[in-house]
A = this chain, B = another copy of it.
């Protein structure tokens, strides 16, 4: 799976030959979060992302009803190229499935698909520069926390930023900032360094999403805007119908991470 092109990987996923999380697949290529909303909510959501680009870095928005991300995945099928999807109705998870064609095919729905950047992209740059990424070392999901940092609201969507946390050795914190600052299309630089209480995190050992990781002596917790923010904000408004990817089961794009720096 390390040597497949993104188009080959998406084809394997489409035919059902890959159903696992996409972590580590097609190294060097960006992967993205998926949010699919009915057209009547799409304007507010697009505006929310435009106003909160660090938490919600939009890579691409498909035409209403379209099943292809033409720029980031030529020939892709949004309804089948992700290994696992989640369906939410009125804010409640009602189904997990590997194929959401039936929802796109339903003429009563005009679905709009949003592809949102993911920190997988900057983590490979951190590792290449010798900055450790703890949750990868420990084989768990990144720890994520609700904060008191308000997002700019847009229409029905409002809420606080969700952040991901990586413990960084003191001497490498400036490098971690500089490296991620180069990639604003995948969350960019940290939003906060040290002192979790200052952004409303009272118990660093118990993340609100994902898994706890070890913070060693001589390390600072560093917090980045997180792609869970748009999902959390969408669910908070209890929309009638939403499709997302299942955690870790991302859309693999044709775009190299390096291109996202431009």
A residues with a Cβ closer than 8 A to B are 42-43, 46-47, 50-51, 58, 60-61, 63, 70-71, 152, 154-155, 181, 184, 188-189, 262
Cβ contact of A50, chosen from B50, B181, B188, cutoff 8 A: B50
The answer for the CA separation of A154 and B62 in the assembled complex, in Å, is 9
Is A47 a contact of B71 with CB atoms below 8 Å? no
The answer for the CA separation of A43 and B40 in the assembled complex, in Å, is 11
Is A71 a contact of B58 with CB atoms below 8 Å? no
The answer for the CA separation of A261 and B70 in the assembled complex, in Å, is 28
Is A60 a contact of B71 with CB atoms below 8 Å? no
Number of identical monomers bound together in the oligomeric complex: 2
Is B43 a contact of A71 with CB atoms below 8 Å? no
For A189, what are the chain B residues with a Cβ–Cβ distance below 8 Å?
262
Is A51 a contact of B71 with CB atoms below 8 Å? yes
For this complex, 6 residue pairs linking A to B, each with C-beta atoms less than 8 Å apart, are A42-B43, A43-B43, A43-B46, A50-B58, A50-B60, A184-B184
Is B47 a contact of A262 with CB atoms below 8 Å? no
The answer for the CA separation of A154 and B42 in the assembled complex, in Å, is 15
For A184, what are the chain B residues with a Cβ–Cβ distance below 8 Å?
184, 262
The answer for the CA separation of A189 and B259 in the assembled complex, in Å, is 13
Is B71 a contact of A61 with CB atoms below 8 Å? no
Is A181 a contact of B262 with CB atoms below 8 Å? yes
Is A61 a contact of B42 with CB atoms below 8 Å? no
CB distance from A22 to the nearest CB of B (A): 24
